[in-house]
Structure 1
Amino acid sequence: MDTTQVRAAFDTNSGSLLERALFNFRGVVVLMCLVITLLLGWQATKLGFNASFEKMIPSNHPFIVNYLENQSQLSGLGNAVRIAVVNKRGSIYEADYQKILQALSDEVYLLPGVDRTYMKSLWTSSTRWVGVTEMGLEGGPVIPDNYDGSDTSLEKLRRNIERSNEIGQLVAFDQQSSIIYVPLLANADGQPLDYTVLSNQLEALRDKYQSGPVEIRITGFAKVVGDLIEGLQQILLFFAAAIAITCMVLFWYTRCVRSTLLVMGCSLVAVVWQLGLLPLLGYELDPYSVLVPFLVFAIGISHGAQKMNGIMQDIGRGLHKLVAARITFRRLFIAGLTALISDAVGFAVLMFIDIPVIQDLAITASIGVAVLILSNLILLPILLSYVGVSARAAQRSLRAELADASGATKHPLWRFLDLFTRRGWATGCVLVAAVLAAGGYFISLQLKVGDLDAGAPELRADSRYNQDNAYITSHYGASSDVFAIMVKTPVGGCAAYDTLKRVDNLDWKLRALPGVESTNSLAQLNRQVLVGLSEGNPKWYELMNNQATLNMITASAPRGLYNDECSMLTQYAYLADHKADTLTSVVDTVQTFAAENDNEQAQFLLAAGSAGIEAATNIVVKQANREMLWWVYGAVILLCLLTFRSWRAVTCAVLPLMLTSILCEALMVWLGIGLKVATLPVIALGVGIGVDYALYVMSIVLIQMRLGASLSEAYYRALVCTGKVVILTGVTLAIGVGTWIFSPIKFQADMGVLLGFMFLCNMLGALLLLPALAYFLYPSARRVASPVGAVADSAVTVVAEQKGIVRASVRIAQHSYT
């Protein structure tokens, strides 16, 4: 019977209601998908790319709640940029240098989004000096009122800076550079701050002013985001390389241009739909979610290749392309749907993490997975039902099956993998997996939460930003990693001796911690002023128990050490870095001190400053990590149970995923990668994506065993049907993301390593550990052969009906059952 007769004999009213609705009206479905693609493609051109400091912080954590409640009373301790202006030829006490510094300070002051109230440089009026003379206390702005650039003015400027307590703060210890401190507002002129524009403006100022005798160095969240956005073009190049590699390998496997292009095209259609839906729903891409479209593409390739392979094999057995598409749809739709729902759940559980940028990533990815159901599970089979595959490719796809039927020796790889359905190899595999799980678990206990490197770990250590950060950290006592403690007091009580004494005690504890470079507080200012009032005698470096003196010093204290109502003090700790250990030691010290010293007169609240916000983020990430895994595994187990209706099958599918998760955390320890906002989603994504492999293999194994085949026979049938595509996609996608290791964006390189590892490890788990577990969990299927299995391994008759009259028999392999 030729393919035309097969199609004529096929009952178009067979199959599920969904199948009939889709394939009996496939022209309408294709037309609708074309219209949707055009509309969403146009919408995708409106997609914005930006980042928000507020979205990077866990707004409901107690530290952040305290910070947000008191934000208006803090001197720009949230999102800020620090611009170091370095004199390459001398010191800051040169007229040309001061002229450039003044001009740059004025231009920065006028940039949109700058919180001008708290901006500070040598040329802002808030930068003042205080001195003691025989006439009493004197003070004024650091820049003399009659400054004219003369030697006399510059010498006076030197004296003012020495008396301003700004050396190590705004002025470098070597006095060859000074800082312009630029706090930023979340909204500029009623619009969210555009970090792309701001970063470009800062770079324009850098180019403008550092062509002369000065060098400009810039740090801060806004600059990190700007550099990440600048690296977006290179990120896209790596995506393009990964897509090209995938296309070449897919063509090498199929030797069919049309099917390769269709699989690639449908996966790219899903990406277009995803990007088009985001602006409609009010979302933007950010430096973290920009990686999601490639993950959606990778998932699409995995499912698309399975559909293409099934249709290709059925066409090779003599079925018409339409019949082959419908049978493949029936056979793999449920497994594919379960896998995609598991993927979506893997993304959706990220919503439980109280960090908006991760929640946005979860929504972005879930949208992408949802559209894959339409593009790769529905649109792809329908398109293949029109174009089919080349006859040569169809026959090539059956080489293993035909060789087996003719009695030829199985492929060496299939013979090797079959060993894991036998007692010895199965036992060894399970024991090795158990040892790896135990060893990986103990290593994973050393996994650090937070950044393990100084500077911006999202960027390479030799990046311009991290070089700038290293310069500022080494030349200033007040680093960009500021940890601020808010000390709440009754109104007017901030200068009380008892309160200042407690603040002073905490100062000493903090300065003794490794990683704390310096501190600043109203208590410390009182000590310094008292020395000044005592002719500079260091023996008076003490906190005097004289309320009148304390009140006098407090009245002239600079802005930022206490608020207008004198109801809150701000205590600063300047850290050498924001590594996990540094932040943990500071948080533990302050919390212990607060528990012992809080009273009605003073409450020590955490935390503000960039390091304080980072510490809160680390705490949330640590809490969310285990909760996230419980949720994702609970959902995956439930979905697998609904699909397989067998706890044994669920165990075979899920245990390899758990092993991969454990080993991934151990790998992070070995590579020195911390658990943070950028890496937290990887493990959840790996579980969601990795379950695809197990579902496609286990579904065929389970069906074959239920038909009477032995485990060996069932596993071999799964290998030639879906297993080889699992190998194909696992290796291909691992290579694709492996190219990310060369990215200038370090967190992309880290994600590439981790995702590549999880792709490969999940693939090996589905091919090695799954059959080994099945050997022990399905003792009745251990026999090598069975009469029923022999029948299953031969051809069976698929009966197609046409209006109950026409019946035709089509001999196809067992896995193409209806």
Structure 2
Amino acid sequence: MSKHQQQPASFLERLIFNNRPAVILLCLLISVFLFFQASQVRPQTSFEKMIPLGHPYIQKMLEHRNDLANLGNTVRISVEAVDGDIFSKEYMETLRLINDEAFYIPGVDRSGLKSLWSPSVRWTEVTEEGFAGGEVIPQTYDGSSESLEELRSNILKSGQIGRLVGNNFKSSIVDLPLLESYADPEDQSKQIPLDYQKFSHELEEKVRDKYQAQNPNVKIHIIGFAKKVGDLIDGLIGVALFFAVAIAITFVLLLWFTHCFKSTLAVVVATLIAVVWQLGLLHTLGFGLDPYSMLVPFLVFAIGISHGVQKINGIAMASGEATDSLSAARMAFRQLFIPGLVALLSDAVGFITLLLIDIGVIRELAIGASMGVAVIILTNLILLPVMISYIGISKKAVQISREDAVKEHPFWRFISNCAHPMVAPISVVVAVIALAGGVWYGQNLKIGDLDQGAPELHPDSRYNLDNDFVIRNYSTSSDVLVIMVKTAPEGCSTYQTLSAMDELMWKMENTDGVQSAISMVTVSRQVIKGMNEGNLKWETLSRNQDMLNNSIARADGLYNGDCSVAPVLVFLTDHKAETLTRAVQVAEDFAKENNKEGLEFILAAGNAGIEAATNEVIAASETTMLIAVYAAVSIMCLLTFRSLAATLCVILPLVLTSVLGNALMAYMGIGVKVATLPVIALGVGIGVDYGIYIYSRLETYLRQGLSLQDAYYETLKSTGKAVLFTGVCLAIGVATWIFSTIKFQADMGLMLTFMFLWNMIGAIWLLPALARFLINPEKLRNKA
């Protein structure tokens, strides 16, 4: 009889297997409830979940949200005239219709909408009699050639060229500030959160598709956070296809591995039950699926398959000694429950460390992944053995398992040389060289985005092509860094304040990566020039307070109601990490030098300010998170194996994978950001499973008196083949993501494929080499 046959049944084993019908019924009832809950899950996100609410930049932005408009969440619709320019009756009529259509889309802050048709967009000029001005499109406009010439003249005098009107006069913009929630049309007392996917679809259907069809001479470009997120959600619906492909690939490979249709189906069904439970719990707790947490169901599936393979492999081996399927299931449960539980708890603790990152979507991903691991304990460690105890394993599979247990395996015998006294030192040296090379090259890894536009999408995606059009044709890009200037009430118009703002603008405009900057100073200088017959020598700030007060009267939207807060809008060429770092550094240095009582320069708002804050949070959290992940996993291994040497054997291969993963990201031009940071932690959490299963079996054979190499050979024959199969199977499944239309999903697929494979290789190749130096077999035998 084997050691596990001789062990007395634990209370948990008796509780489960003596009450198998109750276990099945309980799981069935839970599945019915959670399946209904899972069916209610919908893709959703919000602007505030995507940003680090605890960062000082974001807190200041939210503090002054009501003082200043358009500091964050806006959408820009650029209407391009394909042939000719905007000065045609047909174009202007189409622009008017788009303006009116966008005005009534739910979620638009209608008071802040701007286009050439907005009454708030005005022109100003200096005449012999003083200032003259009016609406850019006057009430007398009728589409005639005379009206269009007047419109051209008004636009030239409006200061909107490069802002609302393209530099080449071939396009103009409808600017839509958005509300995070809006009143329910049927019940004004209720607030409806903005549905980004629905909003994106309405832009496509009511604006782009409708008006491009009506006027073939018009091409519409749409950019902004809400549009980007809507496109991401649409693209990630394709995750369901990749998930189906992964299930099919896994089923085929698992059937080849087990040689048993019944057990293969049981593993897949138990794992899919875990996925449904995870999604159901997600909805029950009030969460949805956002673009970043959509990978969690696949991770749950991957982890479930990993542990299911170990269970089926263990039951197949036990069937060679047991008299029936129930006995085999109980023996496998007795042997694998503790290693499986430790591995899953290590996964969960590792995922929970993501809560250290102050970004809502990452925290929800951590909660979702942790819940997924928790349900796998019930479905794959408990429900699966109970299912197999009823349906059993095919005779063919049992026969193959018996033959594998006694016959010689040249492949595993060759791999077992990793524990050979001559090979192990070479392996360790190679690992150290790879580690040093990874650390050296990993220094090129950047925080934040490394590409223009939306790096979550491919460069040739419609969104990024639209964004490229706006960058090329306007002086004010979609990447805006807003610096808030705070004074005492009525203090923003003083010469001291305006002079300091003017100096800040000069410094920012002379910073690499900055397109332009505007503020109330821009308006004041223009008005003062106009007050002096348009003489360019007078395009400066006056020290006369009355003149300054008059000059800012037309700076609508560039200061708040009591003139205590005024923004400086800095338009950047892109939001690459280097561009943001340079711009923010210049602004922070200026603030340190010039902040005083009654005058404060506060960073930061605008989408570029949000990106900068996010980059800072990720840079500060990355090291802390990795330390926490490894600390948590190490503690779990220490508590299980009660050996520092055993813990090092499991953890060090993971460290090598993390370092090489960072080097791969640097080589592929993938920055550390909201989309990729969780993968770094998840790779560690998932990878520890391999090491725990291999070491627990290796230790068992060492306690029986086998030499390290012989013990490792026996480990490979049993657990090793399951680890190898799991790593390859999951890598093939996740590799399908590389073909995704969403770039960050393709990046995730590449990283997870690498981590699945390298964690598996590290566990099989490096763990026994480390054991040669760190483990004392004699000491283990004495404890047996």
Shorter-chain TM-score tier: over 0.9
Match of 1:200 in 2: 201
1:313 and 1:395 in contact (8 A); partners too: no
8 A contact 1:700–1:718 mirrored in 2:
yes
Report the Cα offset of residue 400 of structure 1. Answer: 3.3
Indicate yes or no: 2:695 matched with 1:698.
yes
For the pair 1:539 / 2:528, whether they are aligned, the reply is no
Is residue 385 of structure 1 aligned with residue 386 of structure 2? no
Q: Which amino acid aligns with 2:339?
A: A
Distance 2:392 2:777 in 1: 40
Q: Give the structure 1 partner of residue 159 of structure 2.
A: 165
Please name the residue that 2:212 is paired with.
210
Given candidates 485, 491, 498, the residue that maps to 1:500 is 498
One-letter amino acid of the structure 1 residue matched with residue 662 of structure 2: E
**1:369 pairs with 2:373:** yes
What is residue 803 of structure 1 aligned with on the other side?
A: none
For 1:738 and 1:246, how far apart are their aligned partners in 2? 12
Aligned residues of 2:416 and 2:716 also touching (Cα < 8 A): no
Q: How many residues align?
A: 773
Work out whether residues 488 and 569 of structure 1, in 8 Å CA contact, stay in contact via their aligned partners in 2. Answer: yes
Matched, 1:261 2:255: no
Give the aligned partner of residue 46 of structure 2.
Answer: 52
Give the one of 672, 676, 679 matched to 1:675. 672
Alpha-carbon distance in 2 for matches of 1:207, 1:780 = 72
SS at match of 1:369: helix
CA contact (8 A) 2:702 2:777 kept: no
| 2:424 aligned residue (423, 426, 434) | 426
1:643-685 residue CA offsets vs partner (Å, 9 max, x unmatched) = 1011110000000011111111111100000000000100110
Q: Partners in 1 of 2:223 and 2:614 — Cα distance? A: 20
CA contact (8 A) 2:580 2:608 kept: yes
Check whether the contact 1:270–1:372 (CA below 8 A) recurs between aligned residues. Answer: yes
Provide the rounded CA distance (Å) in 2 between the counterparts of 1:77 and 1:151.
38
Per the TM alignment, residue 420 of structure 1 is displaced from its structure 2 partner at its CA by 1.4
Map 1:524-563; keep pairs closer than 5 Å. Answer: 524-557=522-555, 559-563=556-560
1:292 lines up with 2:296 in the alignment: yes
Q: State the alpha-carbon separation in 2 of the partners of residues 24 and 401 from structure 1.
A: 30
Tell me whether 1:731 sits opposite 2:735 in the alignment: no
**What does the per-residue CA deviation read over 1:716-763, in whole Å, with 9 as the maximum and x for residues that have no partner?**
121111110000000110111111111001110000000110001100
Secondary structure, counterpart of 1:72 in structure 2: coil
**What is the CA–CA distance in structure 2 between the aligned matches of 1:535 and 1:460, rounded to whole Å?**
51
Contact 1:321 1:386 in 2 (8 A): yes
8 A Cα contact 1:130 1:137, kept in partner: yes
Matched, 1:275 2:276: no
Q: Which stretch of the first structure deviates more once superposed, 294-303 or 314-323?
A: 314-323
Superimposed CA distance per residue, residues 440-459 of structure 1 (whole angstroms, 9 cap, x where no aligned partner)? 11222221111111111111
Following superposition, the deviation at residue 318 of structure 1 comes to 4.5
The residue type equivalent to 2:179 in the other structure is: L
CA displacement 1:478-518 (0-9 Å, x = unmatched): 11111100000111110111111111111111111121111
Amino acid at match of 2:265: L
Q: Secondary structure at the match of 1:112?
A: coil
Partner of 1:99: 93
- 2:751 pairs, out of 754, 770, 777, with 754
Deviations along 1:770-807, whole A, 9 cap, x unmatched? 0000001125569xxx9x99xxxxxxxxxxxxxxxxxx
**2:711 is matched with which residue?**
714
Partner in structure 2 of residue 403 of structure 1: 407
**Kept after mapping to 1: 8 A contact 2:61/2:71:** no
The offset of 1:534, in angstroms, is 3.5
In structure 2, C-alpha distance between the alignment counterparts of 1:238 and 1:780, rounded to whole Å: 45
Amino acid at match of 1:456: A
Name the amino acid aligned to 1:164: S
**Distance (Å, rounded) in 1 between the aligned partners of 2:150 and 2:440:** 62
Aligned to 1:16: 10
Name which of 328, 345, 349 aligns with 2:349.
345
How far did residue 701 of structure 1 move?
A: 0.9
**Of residues 443, 456, 480 in structure 2, which corresponds to 1:445?**
443
1:110 corresponds, among 95, 104, 118, to 104
Query: 2:67 matched to 1:73?
Result: yes
CA 1:15–1:780: 2 relative to 1, 3 Å: closer
The amino acid of 2:80's aligned partner reads V
Residue 415 (structure 1) aligned with residue 413 (structure 2): yes
After TM superposition, the structure 1 = structure 2 runs for residues 301-340 of structure 1, keeping only pairs within 5 Å, are 301-340=305-344
- Any idea what the Cα deviations from partners look like across 1:304-340, whole Å, max 9, x if unmatched? 0000000011113344211111111111111100111
Instruction: Select 1:480's aligned residue among 478, 481, 489.
Output: 478
Task: State the Cα distance separating 1:227 from its structure 2 match.
Answer: 1.0
Q: Which residue number corresponds to residue 168 of structure 2?
A: 174
For residue 715 of structure 2, give the secondary structure of its aligned residue in structure 1: helix
Tell me the CA shift for residue 537 of structure 1: 3.3
Deviates more, 1:342-351 or 1:390-399: 390-399
C-alpha distance in 1, partners of 2:436/2:593? 40
144, 148, 155: which one aligns with 1:154: 148
Deviation at 1:344, TM superposition (A): 0.8
Q: Deviations over 1:601-658 (max 9, x none)?
A: 3101010001111110111111111111111111100000011011110000000011
Deviation at 1:221, TM superposition (A): 1.1
How many angstroms apart in 2 are the aligned matches of 1:682 and 1:163?
Answer: 52
CA contact (8 A) 1:254 1:397 kept: no
- What one-letter code is carried by the residue in structure 2 that aligns with 1:309? N
5+ residue gaps, structure 1, are 405-409, 790-816
In structure 2, list runs of 5 or more residues that go unmatched.
Answer: 184-190
Shift of 1:539: 3.0
Q: What residue in structure 2 maps to residue 359 of structure 1?
A: 363
d(CA) in 2 for partners of 1:587, 1:738? 38
Instruction: Write the distance in 2 (CA, Å) between the matches of 1:151 and 1:264.
Output: 70
Q: Which moved more, 1:693-702 or 1:240-249?
A: 240-249
| AA matched with 2:606 | G
Alpha-carbon offset, residue 233 of structure 1: 3.4
1:127 offset after TM fit, Å? 0.8
Among 36, 50, 70, the alignment partner of 1:42 is: 36
Matched, 1:654 2:654: no
What's the counterpart of residue 810 of structure 1?
none
CA contact (8 A) 2:482 2:603 kept: yes
Indicate if the aligned counterparts of 1:316 and 1:391 stay in contact, CA closer than 8 A.
no
User: How many angstroms does 1:117 deviate by?
Assistant: 1.4
More divergent stretch after superposition (690-699 vs 224-233): 224-233
Amino acid at match of 1:635: A
Match of 1:407?
none
The one-letter code of the counterpart of 2:742 is I
C-alpha deviation, 1:707, in angstroms: 2.7
My pick for the range that moved more, 418-427 or 182-191, is 418-427
The CA distance in 2 between the partners of 1:277 and 1:779, in whole Å, is 45
CA RMSD of aligned residues (A): 1.9
Residue identity in the other structure for 1:38: V
In structure 2, the residue matched to 1:629 is 626
Q: Which residues of 2 match residues 607-626 of structure 1 at below 5 A?
A: 607-626=604-623
Note if contact 2:126-2:534 (Cα within 8 Å) is conserved in structure 1.
no
Q: Determine whether 1:570 maps to 2:567.
A: yes
Q: What secondary structure sits across from 1:720 in the alignment?
A: helix
Measured in 2, the distance between the counterparts of 1:446 and 1:541 equals: 46
SS at match of 1:560: coil
C-alpha separation in 1, matches of 2:667 and 2:543: 53
Cα offsets for 1:194-251 (capped at 9, x unmatched)? 1121111100121110121211110011111111122133221111111111111111
**2:118 aligned residue (111, 115, 124):** 124
Taking structure 1 as the reference length, the TM-score comes to 0.92
Instruction: Indicate if the aligned counterparts of 2:523 and 2:554 stay in contact, CA closer than 8 A.
Output: no
